[in-house]
């Protein structure tokens, strides 16, 4: 089974400061990890993913995430926050054992509200 934990319901950051949104995961095989962002009354937008290779992954809108296998974490980061970054952020995982149409789909964390204050 696969699971994702986002320990913070809400993160508040001042504009221009660095931000971190936390995510930890649990899988039986190797993890495929994703970050999505959702603006109010909208669908989810893909930000970035980790499949293999370099632990630091760069994505859309200046976001990046660091994969840490020993801590089973995949925290989302941005060096300088913008007010427009305010949204709901979801971490998601799929297990490498989910081979094309297998039993496990994409599992999401509960989401973290990111609020950037001007």
Partner 1 sequence: DTEVTQTPKHLVMGMTNKKSLKCEQHMGHRAMYWYKQKAKKPPELMFVYSYEKLSINESVPSRFSPECPNSSLLNLHLHALQPEDSALYLCASSQDSFPDNEQFFGPGTRLTVL
Which residues are at the interface with partner 1 (CB under 8 A)?
32, 34, 36, 41-46, 49, 51, 90, 94-96, 98-111
Nearer of residues 100 and 118 to partner 1, judged by Cβ: 100
Least distance to partner 1, CB of residue 17, Å: 25
Chain length of the chain: 118
Structure tokens at 77: 């980061």
Least distance to partner 1, CB of residue 103, Å: 7
Nearer of residues 78 and 94 to partner 1, judged by Cβ: 94
Nearer of residues 13 and 111 to partner 1, judged by Cβ: 111
Cβ distance 109 to 90 under 8 Å?
Answer: yes
């Amino acid at each position: 089974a696969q699971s994702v934990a986002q320990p913070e319901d809400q993160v508040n950051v001042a504009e221009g400061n660095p931000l971190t949104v936390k995510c930890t995961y649990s899988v039986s095989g190797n993890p495929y990890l994703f970050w999505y962002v959702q603006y109010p009354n909208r669908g989810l937008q893909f930000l970035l993913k980790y499949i293999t290779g370099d632990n630091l992954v760069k994505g859309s809108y200046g976001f990046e995430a660091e994969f840490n296998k020993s801590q089973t974490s995949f925290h989302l980061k941005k060096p300088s926050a913008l007010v427009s970054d305010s949204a709901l952020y979801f971490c998601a995982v799929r297990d490498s054992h989910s081979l094309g149409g297998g039993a496990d789909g994409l599992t999401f964390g509960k989401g973290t509200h990111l609020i950037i204050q001007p």
